[in-house]
Chains A and B, each alone.
Chain A
Amino acid sequence: MTYMKKPKVRHPGLRKNTQGMTRRDYEGLVSTLCAGCGHDSISAAIIEACFDLDFPAHRLAKLSGIGCSSKTPNYFLNRSHGFNSVHGRMPSVATGANLANRDLIYLGVSGDGDTASIGLGQFCHIIRRRVNMTYIVENNGTYGLTKGQFSPTSDRVSKSKKGEANLFEAIDLCTLAINLGAGFVARGFSGDKDHLVPLIKAAFSYNGFAFIDVISPCVTFNDHEDSTKSYDYVRAHNAAMDHLDLVPEREEIIAQTEQGKTTDVRMHDGSLMRIHRLDDAYDPRDAESALSILRKRHAKGQVVTGLLYIDEEDVDMHELLGITKQPLNAVPMRDLCPGNAELVKFNKSLR
């Protein structure tokens, strides 16, 4: 057997959400990743976010490319359709799926090789197209499945497990995403679930392209002393900009916070996102400041995490293309096929 089903154990006491589902209903197969892999923590965070948001699991589609990260959709949301596509091409497949049915929730999971290397072009263009989806990069700075080569997000100062120096500059995916006009750009850390889960929930609630770069240490090939993507390094250098609260529409907002330290953003689904700002220079609605913080902190060797940028006015691809509200895959043939009478008219114009 090359896959393992989770044993069915009944937990009568498990809390149910408004869908009548427990957290277990959002799980997947047993992970075949290395024990302690950051990716498994991200899977757990996705499960928690979907449970908390009361998602009907079957209304979500999960798509991925190739690599360790791209295997993970097998390990969460068993009731959702999944698509493990080809290396670096998840964005195009997700775009097509989204065009076919705008009513589903789309989650793309990719890795740093899959997105920043072979798939960099498709990543740029899905941002341009404003595809309404959540796009998570599980960023470990290394090629795990092929045993530890550098990836394009490896920092220049970072060394491989064998001690080889990395000669080339890293691609910062958040900087790139902001520059290309992504409406929601965040960075999380797989080792900080309390921070990550609200980020994922906020991304899901965003109407447009929401990107989260999650630093996710590779315990086997990139968790050593000279790595800037190790658990220890990220914990020691994590510069968290915020803490998020996503408050559903039905719940009254009662939390009082220190004046001037919070930013409230009304999300498309009616919920309210309250951003508790931890850094004075930081304003998530200002792309320039986000870019500046990313650059300055990176120069100091820090890893900036948080909701880095949000454009509250973002629109999605369907609006831009003027596409009908009805999902295209549900439009009946009688509304798609114009019939012979129209063809007779057209023939006349060709004489």
Chain B
Amino acid sequence: MTKINDFVVKFANVNGSGSASANLLFAKSLFRMGLGVVAKNIFPSNIQGLPTWYEVRITHPSRRARRDGVDVMVAMNPQSYTQDLADIVPGGYLIYDSSLPRLFPREDITVLGIPIAQMCAEVYDSSRERQLFKNVVYVGALIALLDLDFKVVKQAVRDRFKGKARLVEANIEALKMGRDYAREHFTCPLPVRVKPGKVDKDRIMITGNEAAALGCVYAGATVAAWYPITPSTSLAEAFERHAGRLRLDKDGKRRVAVIQAEDELAAIGIVIGAGWNGARAFTATSGPGISLMTEFLGLAYFAELPLVLFNIQRGGPSTGMPTRTQQSDITACAYASHGDTKHVLLFPGDPKECFELAADAFDLAERLQTPVIVMSDLDIGMNDWICDPLEWDDSRVHDRGKVLDAEALDRCQEFRRYGDVDGDAIPYRTLPGTHPTKGAFFTRGSSHDSFAQYIEDGALNAKNLDRLTRKFATAAKLMPKPVIRNTSRTSKLGIINFGSTEAGVREAGDLLAADGYKLNTMRLRAFPFGKEVAKFAARHERIFVVEQNRDGQMRSLLINEAGIPPHKLVPVLNYDGMPLTAQWIKTNIEALIETGKPVAAALQLSAQAM
């Protein structure tokens, strides 16, 4: 069966064998040929030895979701042969290292053996080289088998190893070795192959964590404190790399401080101290780190201190699946900490939005004097996505919020740290060291009056809590708007989703439309919800809430905070840790539409469909 520009290649490797760079070279070359590339790294929580996969869906450039079913499996790991063999669709191909030939018990696929280890053993002296170049050899074979443009691949190698001529040459030689073997032994290209597409010179390939880190640089963040945890580590590391490059004064000193803290408690404590003192500061973490940070989040909420926190969500609960994706910290973050607390959440849908919402997060945090949590996930954060280019409007003015300087304090009759002067419930703050006699106050997490003095007067405390409620209402007006796509004015069916599920939901919408189901969609981008959310709910009778957690956490938030009747919100839940496919979403929503099952049954159905 001929499949041009519409198939899935999966690489099954051993973790730590150097395959990542070769696999990325493959994906990048396809991207540069103008094809849609959806690349997912499916990796273990391990340094060396366990199975790891890299999945590349080649598709139309408008598609961004993964797809089940493997057309071409490059099986380089005998440990996972059984599973890898099972993943191949009928009519598909298995490429394996035939240095140790074996029989694969499937009649409906084509097995292509390449004695990769033997070939490398003949050419390379060191064991390290023999191992590393095996990966390059199979990419070489794919050039011939899938009809990749060798010129494009060679250029990608040159760019990858810029200034290291010897490495460039060695890699190209290894590619040729694989390509020539395939040409000599198989009919090339295969019916499954690529055809160069229309190259969009603007588009980029980037991970969400790198984009978010750049967003922090552009937002003017000067203090970052973090503790290593998958899948957020690469955000902090990218920030250090970019800020270290872009933020040097004339003496080569840094206009940034990055601290690898002793734990997540210290990380957020450092960020709070820096924010209190007028620097833009952030931390990045994942679920277990969020749990540790909750006490401090309550302090920042109640003492009204700005901070930006990136939560790159992974599979929970507890240590969970550290290297798989989920959206299961929604309620934990929305209400993080004891007492009545609520936090501003932002939900980027792809890496470009990670950049944009990262920058917005700092403006919102300082405007609202409160924590802003950017809810990314492992899929967006760590996988390379094809996006529109990052852009910065040079006329943009960073919103530093309500901070009184010495002159303003001189004009000020009476400074109330927690007063509501403007009617938006956002108070004015001062920074330490501003004025010799005015504006000093004592920041505290204990109950306080509008002068920041400690109180045990219940009515006064309630008054302050009420102001914080009003401040949250102000926040709702400042949040990024949801993205609404109306396919039908009359349809009473809708979808609500957020974050990385966007890729799958968008494609699923087309699949559903092809089956005659017209659903309007609303992608949430922030909490608290703006009035658009209730409006969208009001004009639909059944709304499928697609999310990657077991308990329908966003659905709960919509019921609690937007007042949407529970019977309208049908949960569509997936929590197997893999990025959603359009097919899965479509199948589940269709089943729910057709059976017309009430919500309770839908929860059941969703669980069974896993």
Interface-side segment among B255-263, B471-479, B522-530: B255-263
In contact, A347 and B390 (Cβ under 8 angstroms):
yes
Point out the residue from B259, B271, B273 that lies within 8 Å of A129, measured CB to CB. Answer: B259
In the complex the two chains form, what is the Cα distance from A61 to B432 in whole Å?
7
In contact, A346 and B440 (Cβ under 8 angstroms):
no
* A248 lies within 8 A of chain B by Cβ: no
Point out the residue from A74, A91, A329, A351 that lies within 8 Å of B201, measured CB to CB. Answer: A351
Interface-side segment among B245-253, B507-515, B571-579: B245-253
* B455 lies within 8 A of chain A by Cβ: yes
Contacts of B247 in A (CB 8 A): 335-336
In contact, A351 and B279 (Cβ under 8 angstroms):
no
* B517 lies within 8 A of chain A by Cβ: no
Point out the residue from A61, A99, A326, A351 that lies within 8 Å of B203, measured CB to CB. Answer: A351
Interface-side segment among B83-91, B100-108, B177-185, B213-221: B213-221
Q: How far is the CB of B268 from chain A (nearest CB, A)?
A: 8
* A59 lies within 8 A of chain B by Cβ: yes
In contact, B269 and A2 (Cβ under 8 angstroms):
no
Query: Given A81-B443, A326-B249, A347-B390, does the pair A92, B261 have CB atoms closer than 8 Å?
Result: yes
Write out, one digit per residue, whether chain A residues 46-73 have a CB within 8 A of any chain B CB (1) or not (0): 0000000000111101010000000001
* A321 lies within 8 A of chain B by Cβ: yes
In contact, B277 and A89 (Cβ under 8 angstroms):
no
Query: Given A58-B437, A322-B253, A336-B220, does the pair A92, B444 have CB atoms closer than 8 Å?
Result: no
In contact, A329 and B299 (Cβ under 8 angstroms):
no
* B435 lies within 8 A of chain A by Cβ: yes
Point out the residue from B201, B255, B261, B279 that lies within 8 Å of A125, measured CB to CB. Answer: B261
In contact, A101 and B433 (Cβ under 8 angstroms):
yes
Contacts of A80 in B (CB 8 A): 432, 440
Point out the residue from B205, B223, B390, B434 that lies within 8 Å of A96, measured CB to CB. Answer: B223
Point out the residue from B268, B390, B455 that lies within 8 Å of A343, measured CB to CB. Answer: B390
Contacts of B50 in A (CB 8 A): none
Point out the residue from A81, A124, A333 that lies within 8 Å of B433, measured CB to CB. Answer: A81
Contacts of A347 in B (CB 8 A): 202, 204, 389-390
In the complex the two chains form, what is the Cα distance from A95 to B205 in whole Å?
37
Most buried by B among A59, A129, A337: A337
* B32 lies within 8 A of chain A by Cβ: yes
Interface residues of A in 87-130 (CB under 8 A from B): 89, 91-101, 103-104, 121-122, 124-125, 129
In contact, B218 and A99 (Cβ under 8 angstroms):
no
Interface residues of B in 374-406 (CB under 8 A from A): 389-394, 398
User: B interface, how many residues as a size bin?
Assistant: 35 or more
In the complex the two chains form, what is the Cα distance from A293 to B269 in whole Å?
35
Q: How far is the CB of A341 from chain B (nearest CB, A)?
A: 8
Point out the residue from A2, A81, A85, A124 that lies within 8 Å of B432, measured CB to CB. Answer: A81
In the complex the two chains form, what is the Cα distance from A125 to B269 in whole Å?
13
* B418 lies within 8 A of chain A by Cβ: no
In the complex the two chains form, what is the Cα distance from A336 to B464 in whole Å?
35
Interface residues of A (CB under 8 A from B): 2-3, 56-59, 61, 63, 73-74, 78-86, 89, 91-101, 103-104, 121-122, 124-125, 129, 318, 321-326, 328-329, 331, 333, 335-340, 342-344, 346-347, 350-351
22 A-B pairs within 8 Å (CB atoms) are namely A3-B455, A79-B437, A79-B440, A83-B444, A85-B272, A92-B273, A95-B269, A96-B223, A96-B225, A96-B270, A99-B223, A100-B222, A101-B431, A121-B266, A323-B254, A323-B257, A328-B222, A328-B255, A337-B218, A337-B398, A343-B218, A343-B392
Interface residues of B (CB under 8 A from A): 31-32, 201-206, 214, 217-223, 225, 246-247, 249, 251-259, 261-263, 265-279, 281, 295-296, 299, 389-394, 398, 430-437, 440-446, 453-457
A73-B442, A125-B261 known, 10 other contacts, Cβ within 8 Å: A81-B431, A85-B272, A93-B273, A97-B274, A97-B432, A100-B278, A336-B247, A343-B392, A351-B201, A351-B203
